[in-house]
Chain A
């Protein structure tokens, strides 16, 4: 049996002491987001995650979803838990008050996501998708669509999906074949088969709102000819001012997948047969609308890596304190047991420190990025909005790929700490590795994230996006150049930052001449940027902890742990930057040297 406690202290430290998230309350529309309110919301979210969602995590995995003739049932307890979830207003945290939302910061929603994902990743995905659908419709839908659907997605009585993938079309959306034909009344008839659709059919909500990518009859080939349509499972009817689901639309679920993990989440095949739908956004501009949904979803998936990793770490730590094996030199021979807790063994410590340093650093990275989502949409100064938007655009692929890599690594280390007990189902640890695995694949594989970073984000505006990360790090290093106390942190950081600068310049130069050079370096570059940025955030956390340590009522042990974990990161994790930099410098030569048919 696993256990979970939401890491409120760590979250609050990042939000209040490192990021000064309280400043969001100074932005128009976010006046309510004061630290007190944020803390209260977090307390409630923690309780919901711990007491409602988490108890269903292992049972949901064991039972899974069932399919019968077009009907999908989620595991026992899921419908009730979802009802509790929406009754608490958790689907409407960031939604616009005019559609029944609470108008709170996106940042706060990401933290709630972390807790919910730790507690039950399979169930937490459903509101996550609704959130993406809400944003796509809010940004690109016409007023009628917004009025009908946004209140329902906000209150959670209806849920959303994103229908992109088709059997022949995964990472390359230019291959989409689903068709949309104008019906003559402003609506369209959508036909085609979509696969791998999370929550495409389920028993949690009144109805489901599908956002479907399809081609109009006059569509140009490739991604330039893809449009987005809203296709409800039931056609809505106006019932005396209130909207309710009416007749079934022409979309059926023809089966669900048997998967490695997230068993509690139904992964559906949907067949659209002349289903009625409405255009969201302009014709052939579906990719733009899709990316509105996708960018948000990519950050959310990064946070899934964080959430599953947190659960894995907590349980590995508990087990390491309790399990006794072997003696360490000078061990605790005081209580009559002939073995020490394995947490005393250096190799176990190494694993725990790695998990802790990666998790807490990754959390700082995720929330630093998420904070800028709010700044990008609400800061009064357009230049600051654009700068924040640049930062989010640059760091979204890093958050997605780096954090989902870490999530899987941490789940894997948690099994290792557990030894044989980690490998058996009963303990509940192996589930976490299975659940975490998908996050490196969906919403754009981590390889696609790296290509996005290097192919689109790095060169944009001759490196304008990079400025949002490189200048703060450069300024931080300059500010602390003569600070001997910070030197153990800033020394390694400066070295790794120099490697990052060189690698960035190298890729920018070679990419101009030979795009394959840049794509071969993409993975290493994403990891390098992630490692260095987290390194900088660790240095900031350590300095913030030190500054706070002298204050009244400070939790000295908690703050001291931050400084020590930061030092561990600089000495044992950040050096990976050198390896990635070396691989980048080596170039694409040996990557591509072997002929495809010589393998």
Chain B
């Protein structure tokens, strides 16, 4: 089989239309690959494919959405395993995602294996069974192409895939599948050994179980436990109890049972494997987590208000959750993780007991579960959303310090940790490269796969070409620069604008092209409205208007820059962040990009050229029927309702991105793809020709839009201030005081944007929206 990822998997089949199976099918469809979703024929079913069809219908209603576009949903064909065996025969990859029972799985394999194409891959999504058990007694021809592909829930969003292959598996086939999962599905594929729970759940279950046990034993409340075993350790704020609520309390006994039955007697897991009567009672009472009546936390809606309550581990009673302000966490803010673990109070001791046990456990699992520490760190980061893997955490503590403290407490120091303590850590920076400690005690350079380019690697040991408090410009090789936002949440502020201008100049003088990219969680959540709000509160109207004018000027400079600029977003690209992309020559977007002109939510309109660019893009859309009015209305509707695209593909459908813009599925490949696109554009690059004037309808159209707004108001779908904002937007998009006979130039539209912005930000309602967004993170509907 060829290793071209575009040709390896032309069609796939998923068997088992449960939560995981159906969502895996959806994600394969997201990659543009046709997929069959099959399940059993229920007894006495009228529609023999009822299960798969029902699953498909559920997928379309699930939030967060398993599909990136509705188009992708059409690539999934439901069916059943009795009537559709011929479809299995057409598949290059068959994924089994049925109930975790080795016997039932074996009977399924018996039925389908005869229908597989000769080189088709069969994989199981099992999380608790072992490859050796699933392939026992199977012929060598199946073992060579049978693997475990363990996706994490939800498969579209969780970047980890653990892959287990037998020693005698076909290396070429495995390599091709890995590349497909990497490039087309966007997963980081970690090779795990055929051991119980593989990597992430093996450590994760131990960690969760330790944290729960110690909270009971040490009298730590669930809120305090989650506050400590959470952000201070680089762990999501759900902590442990919140995580159990999220995945379901009843899942824990399942995973524990799997590990209990399969781990060797000496494994430390057995020592922490305890059941707690309170948790059994919660499950029995329907407190199975967020899918049930609540779990360790619940929302009490009696009396109209929503009160978040937490269970008392000692009494089992619910009481309003108490926001934690712990001295141990305050200590960690100043003194780092070590200060937390050495803080001499109940939560400090709790943090130490949980994390030391977990990290020591992880340190003894290499090479048992994976060949190297990098695989373990990657698995915990991408499978459990930890900011740092266990070995990175040990390095933050100091491997020597950690080993010494374990020793001082008379606990076993795992050999690999002893090695790291002696060598000076699990990772070290060698000039401009990162190296990790091998199990034999030597450091090995961390190699990125071809096509993976990380700004973090480039920055290691390098100096930026330009830098200020909110942005940097980097040389990423081959004559391409990378403009990076570094402000809080990558909000656009005056410093970013200033450095953007300088960066365009410097790139034009010394390089060929520029990429706008960063490795934050979000490309940019928009302009810094805190600054705008403050200026408005102190009535500094001139400064505000200047700030708008500066942004307009720089974004226009970006548009007409003498070098090509490629925007490369991932995560949220909102407001002023999306306006950067609208002014770029091209976009190479990570598939998980959420783009929108959301200014209306805070009572303003896009005024750094965003309204103008989006209008021009709608007007120029060749697929638009019926003259300019539908285009204007489309722009109006999208901006006035602050609609956000839920994927890069959807952003393309909404014209936030152009048809020719690229989408990268794997986050780690985004920069390399963007750079390639930039170099492509740099050949014979000509800046865009100055924008011609456009003919716009003027006040008559604004009046028509206003009638539409009033109708929405009457229906209760728009608030009074929505109407004010939309009216201001209508004036901009209809061209102001013009009519079809006149031409409206680019700068005229910018003037209209500015005027609308300045008028809106003087209203108390807009200021209230901005303040609400800043303090709660949610829009105010006033």
Q: Which 4 residue pairs are nearest across A and B when measured between Cβ atoms? A: A463-B537, A474-B539, A462-B533, A463-B534
**B residues lining the A interface (CB < 8 Å):** 325, 327, 530, 533-541, 543, 764, 767, 770-771, 774-775
Decide: B533 and A466 in contact? CB cutoff 8 A.
Answer: no
Q: Is the CB of A505 within 8 A of B539?
A: no
A-B contact pairs, 8 of them (CB 8 A): A461-B771, A462-B537, A463-B538, A464-B771, A466-B537, A470-B538, A473-B539, A504-B538
A508 within 8 A of partner (CB): yes
Q: Report Cα–Cα, A508/B770, bound state, in Å.
A: 17
Closest chain A residue, CB of each to CB of B540:
A501
Closest to A387 in B: B764
Please give 4 more A-B residue pairs, beta carbons under 8 A apart, in addition to A463-B534, A470-B539, A505-B534. A463-B537, A470-B537, A501-B539, A505-B538
A461–B768 Cα distance when bound, in Å, is: 10
Main secondary structure of the interface of A (DSSP, over half): helix
- From B537, B774, B775, A467 is in contact (CB under 8 Å) with B537
Is the beta-carbon distance between B538 and A466 smaller than 8 angstroms? yes
Proximity bits, A450-461, B CB within 8 Å = 1, else 0:
000000000001
Q: Contacts A224-B325, A505-B534, A508-B534: A462 and B771 contacting too (C-beta < 8 A)?
A: yes
Bound Cα distance from A505 to B543, whole angstroms: 10
Interface residues of A in 374-409 (CB under 8 A from B): 383
Max count, chain A CB within 10 A of own CB: residue among B325, B530, B538, B770: B538
Interface of A toward B, CB cutoff 8 Å:
221, 224, 383, 461-464, 466-467, 470-471, 473-474, 501, 504-505, 508
Roughly how many angstroms separate A466 CA and B536 CA in the complex, as a whole number?
10
Main secondary structure of the interface of B (DSSP, over half): helix
Chain B residues near A471: list those with CB within 8 A: 537, 539
Could you tell me the distance between the alpha carbons of A221 and B327 in the complex, rounded to whole angstroms?
10
- A residues near B540, Cβ cutoff 8 Å: 501, 505
- For A386, the closest partner residue in chain B by CB is B768
Output the nearest chain A residue to B488 by Cβ-Cβ distance.
A512
CA distance A221 to B533 in the complex (A): 36
- Hey, which chain A residues are within 8 Å of B774, CB to CB? 461-462
Residue ID in chain B nearest A477 by CB atoms: B539
| Smallest CB separation, A267 vs chain B (Å) | 36
Q: How far is the CA of A461 from the CA of B534 in the complex (A)?
A: 8
CB nearest to B537 among chain A residues: A463
What are the residues of chain B within 8 A of A462 when measuring CB–CB? 530, 533-534, 537, 770-771, 774
B51 shortest CB reach to chain A, Å: 53
A461 to B767: give the CA distance in the assembly, Å: 10
Instruction: Return chain B residues, CB-CB under 8 Å to A464.
Output: 537, 767, 771
A92 to B538 alpha-carbon distance, docked (Å): 39
In the complex, A327→B687 CA distance in Å?
Answer: 82
- Cα A470 to Cα B767 in complex, Å, equals 14
Report the minimal beta-carbon distance from A389 to chain B, rounded to whole angstroms.
15
Contacts of B541 in A (CB 8 A): 474
Residue of A with least CB distance to B768:
A383
Closest beta carbon of chain A to B491's beta carbon, Å? 13
Q: With A and B bound together, what is the CA distance between A463 and B537 in angstroms?
A: 6
In the bound assembly, the distance between CA atoms of A442 and B134 in angstroms comes to 80
Query: With A462-B530, A462-B770, A462-B774 as given contacts, are A505 and B537 in contact (CB-CB < 8 Å)?
Result: no
Task: Please give, as numbers and ranges, the residues of chain A lying within 8 Å of B533 by CB-CB distance.
Answer: 462-463
CB distance from B321 to the nearest CB of A (A): 17
CB distance from B243 to the nearest CB of A (A): 28
| Residues of chain A lying within 8 A (CB to CB) of residue B535 | 505
CA distance A351 to B534 in the complex (A): 39
A464 to B530, CA, bound (A): 11
With a cutoff of 8 Å between Cβ atoms, the chain A residues found around residue B536 in the complex are 463, 467
| Identity of the chain A residue whose Cβ is nearest the Cβ of B541 in the assembled complex | A474
Task: Tell me, in angstroms, the Cα distance from A447 to B534 when the chains sit together.
Answer: 25
Determine the distance from Cα of A110 to Cα of B587 in the docked complex, in whole angstroms: 64
Please tell me if the beta carbons of A467 and B767 are within 8 angstroms of each other in the complex: yes
Complex alpha-carbon distance, A501 and B537, angstroms: 10
In the complex, A464→B767 CA distance in Å? 8
**Contact residues in B for A466 (Cβ distance below 8 Å):** 537-538
- Docked complex Cα distance between A224 and B770 (Å): 31
Contact partners of A467 in chain B: CB under 8 A: 536-539, 767
Distance in angstroms from B550 CB to nearest chain A CB is: 15
Q: Which residues of B contact A508 (CB under 8 A)?
A: 534
- Chain A's closest residue to B529 (CB) is A462
Closest partner residue, chain B, to A459 (CB atom)? B534
Closest Cβ of chain A to B360, distance in Å, is 32
Q: A462 CA to B535 CA in the complex, in Å?
A: 9
Which of B539, B767, B771, B775 is the most central at the interface, judged by chain A CB atoms within 10 Å of its CB? Answer: B539
B444, chain A: closest CB distance, angstroms: 41
B775 touching A461 by the CB < 8 A rule? yes
- Return the chain A residue nearest B469 by Cβ: A513
B532's nearest neighbour on chain A, judged by CB, is: A462
A461 to B327 CA separation, bound complex (whole angstroms): 26
A456 to chain B, nearest CB (A): 15
Q: Which residues of A contact B327 (CB under 8 A)?
A: 221
- Cβ of B488 to closest chain A Cβ, rounded Å: 10
Chain B residue at minimum C-beta to C-beta distance from A461: B771
Q: What is the minimal beta-carbon distance from B546 to any residue of chain A, in angstroms?
A: 12
CA distance A221 to B536 in the complex (A): 39
Closest CB in chain A relative to B489 CB, distance in Å: 14
Complexed CA–CA distance, A466 and B538 (Å) = 6
